[in-house]
Amino acid sequence: MARHIELERKYDAEADLALPDMRQVAGCAEVGPPRTHTLRASYFDTEDLRLAARGITLRRRQGGTDEGWHLKLPIAKNTRQEIRAPLDAGVRDVPAELTDLVAAHVRGRPLVRVAELETRRTERGLLAEDGTVLAELADDTVSARRLSQDGHEVGLLGWREIEVEAVHGSGELLESIGDHLRDSGARESKVASKLARALDDDVVPLVRSTATRTAGDVLVTYLGEQVEQLLTYDPGVRLAESDDDSVHKMRVSIRRIRSILRTHRRLVEQARIPTLDAELKWLADELGEVRDLEVQGARFDRRLADLPGAHQSPAWLLAMADEEHRARDRVRQTLLSQRYYDLLDALDAFLAAPPLNARAGRSAKKETPKLVARTWRKMMKRYKRAEGLSAGQERDVALHGTRKAAKRARYIAEAASSLGSPAAKLARRAERLQDVLGAHHDSVVAAERLAATTDRPDTPAADTFIAGRLTEVEHREGARVLERLPAAAKKAGRRKPLRKLGS
């Protein structure tokens, strides 16, 4: 499958609108000759349009220079990741490699044709002085048919639109092109895609709560944001063959969900929480195996590059890479399991009807600072205990517990950020403490993995020697990192932002 990031702008235009001279755009020296295509596309979604509700489009297109199967996943405003499969990957049914990428939204429901579009497109390249294509301007005349559940036409629409997609140009260039189009009478489109216009009022956009009036609002809003983040990173986890940070980001979103449910447990009816938390932990653990292997593998690669005399990777490091690939395959199967779909359904149900109690109805300005302060006290209490221990395994465990408490403190401060800048300051301070403790924990885990390697009788002597040298590096690194800990803890423990948050 081919992938690329699509950065574009869309404009509505009347049939008689004349395109402006794009050579007036700064940086555009020439406009290439027109190229005309007829594009025919079938769009697929669930019957209740679950993909369209999130701005996702899945189509099979014939004609033009990029015919094939296209899946477009929103990344940010006017920016989408496009994933392509060849036209022959599926004639009537969506290719499995694309259905897998939307499985978190579809969750076993069939994908059916929901619309068919025919577009008469005239393309022009916008060129720099040296001939580099800065952007492609597409002038489209569109005819769209909305299909019913049984495949019959239920609506016919037609319109003209202009698309400008960056090739080697920047977002600033697209804005400049847009200014010229608007000056000529074009209007910036209010819909993100042709499909959204074709489906019109049938799509019910997903709307998450953004309220922050009550303590319960703060919980539900933050939880909704993290569920959306989880779903956003899901395709990247399925696609990744190596570290692209998607596993880490998806795992962090799960941690945030678990953490906010725990710190706000006094606001929630508890009957549904244990099962939900257990399932979230299961998913985090599944991702954690990959994450731990990729972090440690990259760490050892960097260490070896700086180690004199280490000219090739030891067998135990190559074995770790193989183990990581197998773990990624297991994660992909996990993300196709009914258990995963059930967890996503449970999160949706929680957000649709949050099981909040009377306390959740209290003012966020009064109740949320109390929750933040309670979490902060626990974090500092854990740090004080760890600080009093001698170097060794017991202290390492205590420091790791402090790191977990710092994460919870950070996440609850993030959730409270709508209450003002003191919460954002608290979140940054907790994050710094978390980072220091995390760097120390990574050294501890690395040393433990190296020790397990050298304990194996079948490890070659040369590999054992390298592992021993890396162990020395990790011990030194762990001690060096801890030199930064008192300063980070002292700053995190300052109570002024807590007092301001509660004032």
Q: With H, G, I as helix, E, B as strand and everything else as coil, classify residue 440.
A: helix
pLDDT score at 262: 93
Same domain membership, residue 438 and residue 334? no
Tell me: do 106 and 52 sit in the same domain: yes
Q: What are the two backbone dihedrals, phi and then psi, of residue 325, each rounded to the nearest 5 degrees?
A: -60, -40
Q: Are residues 37 and 181 in the same domain?
A: yes
Q: Which of 128, 122, 124, 123 is nearest to 30 (CA)?
A: 128
User: Are 168 and 232 in a shared domain?
Assistant: no
Instruction: CATH number of the domain at 106, please.
Output: 2.40.320.10
170 shares a domain with 53? yes
126 and 25 Cβ atoms separated by less than 8 Å: yes
Considering the domain architecture, whether residues 143 and 181 belong to the same structural domain is answered as yes
Q: Dihedral sign, CA of 404, 407, 411, 417?
A: positive
Burial class (CB in 10 A: 0-12, 13-18, 19+), 488: buried
Through-space distance between the first and last CA atoms of the chain, rounded to whole angstroms = 54
Q: Are residues 390 and 319 in the same domain?
A: no
CA 219 to chain centroid, in Å, comes to: 20
Q: How far is CA 458 from the centre of its chain?
A: 41
What is the count of structural domains for the chain?
A: 3
The reply to whether 66 and 186 lie within a common domain is yes
pLDDT score of 463? 87
Please state the pTM of the whole predicted model. 0.90
Can you give the pLDDT at residue 160? 97
Model confidence pLDDT, tens digit, residues 449-474: 998 887 777 778 888 888 899 999 99
Structure token pair of residue 211? 């309220």
377 in the same domain as 349: no
Q: Are 304 and 321 in contact (CB under 8 A)?
A: no
Looking at the fold, whether 369 and 291 belong to one and the same domain comes out as: no
Same domain, 42 and 61: yes
Per-residue model confidence (pLDDT) at position 154: 74
Please say whether the beta carbons of 383 and 401 come within 8 A. Answer: no
C-alpha torsion sign, points 217, 218, 220, 225: positive
Query: What is the per-residue pLDDT for 86?
Result: 92
CB 219 within 8 A of CB 267: yes
pLDDT score, position 311: 65
Domain hosting 429: range is 363-503
Check which CATH number belongs to the domain holding 300 and give it: 1.40.20.10
Number of C-beta neighbours around residue 167 at 10 A: 14
User: What digits encode the pLDDT tens for the residues 63-121?
Assistant: 998 899 999 999 888 899 999 999 887 777 899 999 999 999 999 999 999 999 999 99
What pLDDT score does 445 carry? Answer: 94
Q: How far apart (Å, rounded) are the C-alpha atoms in residues 353 and 361?
A: 14
Q: Same structural domain for residues 59 and 169?
A: yes
Average pLDDT per 10 consecutive residues for the chain, totaling 503 residues = 90 95 94 96 95 94 93 90 88 90 96 95 96 96 88 82 95 94 95 89 82 94 96 93 85 96 93 93 96 92 83 86 94 97 96 94 94 96 95 95 96 93 95 97 94 80 88 93 96 92 73
Which of 362, 379, 394 is the C-terminal boundary of a domain?
362
pLDDT at position 76:
85
Query: Where does a domain end: 180, 202, 224?
Result: 202
CB distance 269 to 358 below 8 Å: no
3-state secondary structure of 393: helix
pLDDT at position 151: 66
Domain boundary among 330, 362, 394: 362
Closest by alpha carbon to 136, among 162, 160, 161, 167?
Answer: 167
SS3 139: strand
Q: How far apart are CA 342 and CA 353, in angstroms?
A: 16
List the one residue out of 172, 82, 174 whose CA is nearest residue 135: 174
Tokens of 473: 């590096």
